A and B are shown apart, each in its own frame.
Chain A
Amino acid sequence: GEDVEQSLFLSVREGDSSVINCTYTDSSSTYLYWYKQEPGAGLQLLTYIFSNMDMKQDQRLTVLLNKKDKHLSLRIADTQTGDSAIYFCAESIRGTYKYIFGTGTRLKVLA
């Protein structure tokens, strides 16, 4: 079945790099997404990668996709306290509008 898994917590020091990992089971995904949720707010789209790409870079964010292992990662360079939030991985299923979300990873940035 369709499933997206993430670890629940990650803690890093300010200025270090953060790497948030995600694994998914459905090989028919079209796009894979990273969303950020700050306390009391909705989900904000951070970035996404098309399923036939291996890497996408956008300023401090780098997304890596390993299709063979069905593994997606989000690297945040020079992590700041403002990056503290919950990060959700999601995949869209080819041919549908259906999205599958992971449980979210809570990133805590220590000053």
Chain B
Amino acid sequence: NAGVTQTPKFQVLKTGQSMTLQCAQDMNHEYMSWYRQDPGMGLRLIHYSVGAGITDQGEVPNGYNVSRSTTEDFPLRLLSAAPSQTSVYFCASTSIDTQYFGPGTRLTVL
């Protein structure tokens, strides 16, 4: 049972480039979410999904897109990377009482 997987683990982008962070879960959870973690700021919610075909914005959605075509996958797309998006990104999958996190993607935008 892999739980929540994320790829890549590390990524360096130049300003203006686009990329997709992948997230998959094998627990058949309906609810999935993306967070970013910055020093001294805890985790901030970017986007979330309550099921296939349904997504919504979190606290800091600007500059990011998501889609949810299947229950298992929830990719996060950076449209035009900016240095302010340098962060560690975590995907999470939620059961009725617990949120499970992936190992994270460390992104640097130059």
List the interface of chain A (C-beta within 8 A of B). 4, 8, 30-31, 33, 35, 41-45, 48, 88, 90, 92, 97-99, 101-104
Contacts and interface: CB of A to CB of B under 8 A. Distances in A.
B74 interface: no
Interface stretch (B14-22, B63-71, B99-107): B99-107
B101 A8 contact: no
Interface in B73-103: 90, 94, 97-103
Given A97-B31, A97-B50, A97-B94, A42 B101 contact: yes
Given A42-B90, A97-B50, A104 B101 contact: no
Interface in B10-58: 31, 33, 35, 40-43, 45, 48, 50
A92 B108 CA distance: 30
A88 B90 contact: no
B39 to A, nearest CB: 9
B104 A97 contact: no
Nearest to B43: A101
Given A41-B104, A42-B102, A97 B48 contact: yes
Given A41-B104, A88-B43, A103-B40, A31 B97 contact: yes
Contacts of B104: 41-42
Contacts of A102: 42
A92 B40 CA distance: 21
Name the 3 nearest CB pairs between A and B, nearest first: A103-B42, A97-B31, A42-B101
Contacts of B50: 97
B98 A8 contact: no
A45 B4 CA distance: 13
Contacts of B42: 4, 88, 101-104
